Chain A
Amino acid sequence: MQVTLTVNGDEVTSEIEPRLLLVHFLRDTLGLTGTHWGCDTSNCGACVVLMDGEPVKSCTVLTAMAGGHEVRTIESVERGDVLDPVQQGFVEEHGLQCGFCTPGMIMTARALLDRRAGGEPLTDAEIREAISGQICRCTGYTNIVKAIRWAADQEAAPAGGR
């Protein structure tokens, strides 16, 4: 079957098997290997991408279901040469080790911050809740929470913004 969707701002049309998972379409068909795959059961969240701005686990989304939607992956987060504050926060707070869960975590965090209308304060509990559908085996989460908090503070600061 044929599917047309927008990936990182570009419209893509492709002939696919109806059963093709979005994670494999992104990785194998488009070569966007920043989105990872870690389980079969949508427990780990290594495959999280944004679909119309909301985090989805691309291992449980059929490519066909993404037809007509806008998909964003880790490859689109940096704007020009400017890192997204979430990316910068992960570096500043040592929010990553092996890097395998990192793209999914960053996409979820980006969506969380985008959802905050007017930059209202974000609690650590809210951050933990937001990433609770994802597993990190390396960091023990404390520094991921700090990384997202760093980005939130950066975006809330008067001189900040993106």
Chain B
Amino acid sequence: MAMIEERPIGFGRLKRKEDPRFIRGQGTYVDDVTLPGMLHGAVLRSPLAHARIVSIDASAALAHPKVRGVITGKDLEAQKLAWMPTMSYDTQAVLATDKVRFQGQEVAFVIADDRYAARDALELIDVEYEPLPAVVNARKALDADAPVIRDDKDGQTDNHIFDWEAGDKAETDAVFARADVVVSRDIIYPRCHPAPLETCGAVADYDRVSGHLTLWTTSQAPHAHRTVYALVAGLPEHKIRVISPDIGGGFGNKVPIYPGYVCAIVASIVTGKPVKWMEDRSENLTSTGFARDYVMHGGIAATRDGKILAVRTDVIADHGAFNATAQPTKYPAGFFSIFTGSYDLEAAYCAVHGVYTNKAPGGVAYRCSFRVTEAAYLIERMVDALALELGTDPAELRLKNFIRPEQFPYENKTGWTYDSGDYETAMRKAMEIAGYDELRREQAEKRAKGELMGIGLSFFTETVGAGPRKHMDILGLGMADGADLRVHPTGKAVLGISVQTQGQGHETTFAQIVAEELGIPPEDIEVVHGDTDRTPFGLGTYGSRSTPVSGAAAAVVARKVRDQARLIAAGMLEASPDDLEWEKGRFSVKGDPEQGKTIQEIAMAAHGAADLPEGIEGALEAQTVYNPPNLTFPFGAYICVVDIDPGTAQVKVRRFIAVDDCGVRINPMIVEGQIHGGLAEGVGIALMELIAFDEQGNCLGGSFMDYLIPTALEVPEWELGETVTPSPHHPIGAKGVGESPNVGSPPAIVNAVIDALYEPYGVSHIDMPMTPARVWAAMQGRPEPPQ
């Protein structure tokens, strides 16, 4: 069969440069790294959620013939390494010294000849615990009689972490007081987990002679990690090399620094050998960065004819035993204040109260820009709740209240300036693809027959691509990203970027950005990423930052190179630089297009023997740091169709329509792939995924038998559409898309289930995940008590 190869020079559906190694099984993930003499580490974890450590006896483990050492908190304490900073200026125990504060907490680290022996030795360590009562329910964390979890912190007398607010409380309350209609809901966004298919791990290799540390690790932010290791361990930063090789999915889980990484480093320093630590799946689910866990009380105020006036909410945020959430310093609740959504409101107010509990520390943004997911879920559930109250079609209610295109840039009531949007067009496009009116007719027919069909909508606005650096930092590191670009004499190029791929295809799309700007074919551009020795500094891949920040850096650095190329071409053509015009890949003299030089000819000249124009030192290369002037605001309209089995309460997602507007699309194939993946995660969160605990703080979601992830049988074939509203401030008009589907899909699915059940059963809310048991209970009029 003849294949027509589509090879755009620039934007377009380019096949991925990453694929050839992955389809052959030739990727290099952290666990694929094997070094000569390498030892293996394993972490002993607490079986209890809250307990005082009385004693640790590792003598039997040390007697094991294959064990090279056991590290405990006491050993680390002597080196001042027992505690490390979290990404939120809290502290977290590397290995517990005084108490354990969640089930699965790190207590000791075994170093052995192989991974089996390391695991065997864990069983030989005898730890005596004195159990303490556990705080599991975030709503009870601030009760006067609640045990204090963080008694390690000076002055900490309760489980309170922070209070944070946004918007105008008095004004919002006033609008609520005079509104015709006010609807309230208690809504939980439950604890879930990014659960990338590759767990977290590291290989640490410390060279005692040179003092160099090389760390292969599952990190979404290698540069930030390097700086933290320098600050924590006192290692000189120029002698630390952090390598994120191929990463088997991240979704926010691989942003934090975990105790296992630190232990592997310490173990390598102590033994003088490379040490590998790879957690198992249970360790990943029970101890690493969870997501969400927001207990929200929401209110929405409107006129009788459906004009939404204001929203407000009060939130208890469960951050677990250590505040290890990863978000910009000034934003302890992330970007949750974008909870005003896509609507033109008169007032808004939110308050978020962070608390400690005896649960795993976090939370991270599971494919989400710092709590935007919780925000979008709240507003989109509240709008549907209002639609039920008013007896209005939820699509009509949204269309009536959208921010209009001419209102952009739009300043919302909590201080965000939305860059651009055309919400109605996206909403109508989704309704057209879905056949919305026909679906409503089908629903009415089915309802008459006793069948349960639901149609759910959501419309989200995201805020992604943090900085700007003056407002946003993580541990004092401003949120900006660097890029450097070198064009070799033969016109082939190497682009170094500070973000890295966990599957998003940076090696392809970043080559396309440079190709678009310089006309060099993407296959002639090597993208280097994930290695701090070979790439410029930057904050990393999360919060949909890559395209909005690093992608902008790539475009800017390519334009710098193009500006140099113009000067060189002018010299070659004996023309004024202003008399040249650029078509992709070539400068030519205005009015005489035959007279021109390609970028490849210019690159050779730049490295050649001839005189170069003033201001050009030779070579064709540049570097830049991109500090975004604002975030970008992708948006989208999602419609979900569900069928519910009246006999089993099983929810089946029959159709899912997603119209995304992420501005300019660099590679539509990759954009669509990103959306597909995020939608599947959304189905998982809405229907299956839950990290639950019993009253003693035992984690009930510690394996893939308990923490359920959708397979190919639980998700439909996705139906996508697009609109394109470029970001006015981004160099190529792109906005970022990776997280949109995870942000936008859960409310559409919940709204669809409620849409199916409200009329026949009067069910107006079910918390996620909407398992058959929960849906069944709601249908029987006895909703499960929320966790």
CB neighbours of B412 from chain A (8 A): none
* Contact yes or no, A135 B711, CB < 8 A: yes
Partner of B709, one of A17, A92, A129, A135: A135
* Contact yes or no, B704 A135, CB < 8 A: yes
* Contact yes or no, B25 A75, CB < 8 A: yes
Q: Give Cα A144–Cα B19 distance, bound, in whole angstroms.
A: 13
* Contact yes or no, B22 A132, CB < 8 A: no
* Contact yes or no, A132 B713, CB < 8 A: yes
Chain B proximity mask over A93-127: 1 for CB below 8 Å, otherwise 0: 01011111111001000000000000000001001
* Contact yes or no, B717 A97, CB < 8 A: no
* Contact yes or no, A144 B281, CB < 8 A: no
Least CB separation from B717: chain A residue: A142
Least CB separation from A153: chain B residue: B1
In the complex, how many angstroms separate the beta carbon of B465 from the nearest chain A beta carbon?
20
Partner of B19, one of A90, A139, A140: A90
Q: Is A78 interfacial (CB 8 A cutoff)?
A: yes
* Contact yes or no, B29 A139, CB < 8 A: no
Q: Give Cα A132–Cα B681 distance, bound, in whole angstroms.
A: 16
Number of residues from A at the complex interface, CB < 8 A: 63
Q: Is B783 interfacial (CB 8 A cutoff)?
A: no
Q: Which of B174-182, B190-198, B302-310 contacts A (4 or more CB under 8 A)?
A: B190-198
Q: Give Cα A44–Cα B34 distance, bound, in whole angstroms.
A: 24
The answer to whether residues A138 and B249 also contact, given A97-B504, A128-B712, A159-B1 and a CB cut-off of 8 A, is yes
* Contact yes or no, B676 A102, CB < 8 A: no
* Contact yes or no, A41 B116, CB < 8 A: no
Partner of B502, one of A37, A98, A160: A98
In the complex, how many angstroms separate the beta carbon of A24 from the nearest chain B beta carbon?
8
Q: Is B651 interfacial (CB 8 A cutoff)?
A: no
In the complex, how many angstroms separate the beta carbon of A104 from the nearest chain B beta carbon?
10
CB neighbours of B677 from chain A (8 A): 97, 136-140
In the complex, how many angstroms separate the beta carbon of B297 from the nearest chain A beta carbon?
32
Least CB separation from B684: chain A residue: A137
Interface size class of B (residues with CB under 8 A): 35 or more
The answer to whether residues A157 and B673 also contact, given A17-B116, A103-B25, A128-B713 and a CB cut-off of 8 A, is no
CB neighbours of B198 from chain A (8 A): 36, 38, 98, 100
Chain B proximity mask over A10-23: 1 for CB below 8 Å, otherwise 0: 00000001011000
Partner of A136, one of B32, B114, B197, B502: B197
Partner of B711, one of A94, A97, A132: A132
* Contact yes or no, A98 B199, CB < 8 A: no
Q: Give Cα A78–Cα B21 distance, bound, in whole angstroms.
A: 12
The answer to whether residues A137 and B681 also contact, given A98-B248, A99-B246 and a CB cut-off of 8 A, is yes
Q: Is B609 interfacial (CB 8 A cutoff)?
A: no
Q: Is B503 interfacial (CB 8 A cutoff)?
A: yes
* Contact yes or no, B503 A138, CB < 8 A: yes
* Contact yes or no, A100 B29, CB < 8 A: yes
* Contact yes or no, B195 A94, CB < 8 A: no
CB neighbours of A103 from chain B (8 A): 25
CB neighbours of A33 from chain B (8 A): 25, 28-29, 31-32
Interface centre among B21, B23, B677, B709 (most CB of A within 10 A): B23
* Contact yes or no, B246 A98, CB < 8 A: yes
Chain A proximity mask over B190-226: 1 for CB below 8 Å, otherwise 0: 0000011111000000000000000000000000000
Q: Is A34 interfacial (CB 8 A cutoff)?
A: yes
Q: Give Cα A136–Cα B280 distance, bound, in whole angstroms.
A: 18
Q: Give Cα A160–Cα B1 distance, bound, in whole angstroms.
A: 7
Q: Is B239 interfacial (CB 8 A cutoff)?
A: no
Chain B proximity mask over A130-162: 1 for CB below 8 Å, otherwise 0: 011111111111111100000000100101100
CB under 8 Å from chain A, chain B span 78-135: 114-116
In the complex, how many angstroms separate the beta carbon of B485 from the nearest chain A beta carbon?
25
The answer to whether residues A145 and B25 also contact, given A98-B198, A98-B247, A131-B711 and a CB cut-off of 8 A, is no
CB under 8 Å from chain A, chain B span 26-52: 26-29, 31-32, 34
In the complex, how many angstroms separate the beta carbon of B610 from the nearest chain A beta carbon?
42
* Contact yes or no, A97 B505, CB < 8 A: yes
* A interface SS class: loop
Chain A proximity mask over B680-720: 1 for CB below 8 Å, otherwise 0: 11000000000000000000000111000101110101100
* Contact yes or no, A98 B197, CB < 8 A: yes
In the complex, how many angstroms separate the beta carbon of A148 from the nearest chain B beta carbon?
10
CB under 8 Å from chain B, chain A span 74-99: 74-75, 77-78, 83, 87, 90-92, 94, 96-99
The answer to whether residues A137 and B251 also contact, given A98-B198, A132-B713 and a CB cut-off of 8 A, is yes
Least CB separation from B675: chain A residue: A140
Q: Is A60 interfacial (CB 8 A cutoff)?
A: no
* Contact yes or no, A35 B25, CB < 8 A: yes
* Contact yes or no, A137 B504, CB < 8 A: no
CB neighbours of A96 from chain B (8 A): 19, 22-23
* Contact yes or no, B31 A99, CB < 8 A: no
CB under 8 Å from chain A, chain B span 623-679: 669-670, 672-679
CB neighbours of B672 from chain A (8 A): 94
Q: Is B16 interfacial (CB 8 A cutoff)?
A: yes
Q: Give Cα A126–Cα B247 distance, bound, in whole angstroms.
A: 30
* Contact yes or no, A36 B712, CB < 8 A: no
CB neighbours of A73 from chain B (8 A): 25
Q: Is A46 interfacial (CB 8 A cutoff)?
A: yes
Least CB separation from A160: chain B residue: B1
Q: Is A39 interfacial (CB 8 A cutoff)?
A: yes
* Contact yes or no, B673 A139, CB < 8 A: yes
* Contact yes or no, B503 A97, CB < 8 A: yes
Q: Give Cα A79–Cα B675 distance, bound, in whole angstroms.
A: 33
Q: Is B173 interfacial (CB 8 A cutoff)?
A: no
Q: Is B441 interfacial (CB 8 A cutoff)?
A: no
* Contact yes or no, A139 B676, CB < 8 A: yes
CB neighbours of B680 from chain A (8 A): 136-137, 139-141
In the complex, how many angstroms separate the beta carbon of A31 from the nearest chain B beta carbon?
8
* Contact yes or no, B715 A87, CB < 8 A: no
Q: Give Cα A8–Cα B34 distance, bound, in whole angstroms.
A: 22
Partner of B704, one of A41, A100, A127: A41
* Contact yes or no, B22 A94, CB < 8 A: no
In the complex, how many angstroms separate the beta carbon of A153 from the nearest chain B beta carbon?
9
Q: Give Cα A27–Cα B32 distance, bound, in whole angstroms.
A: 8
Given A17-B116, A100-B198, 17 more contacts at CB 8 Å?
A: A34-B24, A83-B23, A87-B24, A91-B20, A96-B22, A97-B677, A102-B23, A131-B712, A132-B713, A135-B711, A137-B197, A138-B673, A139-B676, A139-B677, A139-B680, A140-B680, A140-B718
B-binding residues in A (CB < 8 A):
17, 19-20, 24, 27-28, 31-41, 43-44, 46, 73-75, 77-78, 83, 87, 90-92, 94, 96-103, 106, 124, 127-129, 131-145, 154, 157, 159-160
Nearest 4 CB-CB pairings of A with B: A34-B25, A98-B503, A99-B22, A100-B248
Q: Can you give 13 contacting A-B residue pairs, CB < 8 Å? A: A34-B27, A36-B29, A39-B704, A44-B281, A75-B25, A97-B677, A99-B18, A102-B22, A132-B713, A137-B197, A137-B677, A145-B717, A160-B1
A-binding residues in B (CB < 8 A):
1, 15-16, 18-29, 31-32, 34, 114-116, 195-199, 246-249, 251, 280-282, 501-505, 669-670, 672-681, 703-705, 709, 711-713, 715, 717-718
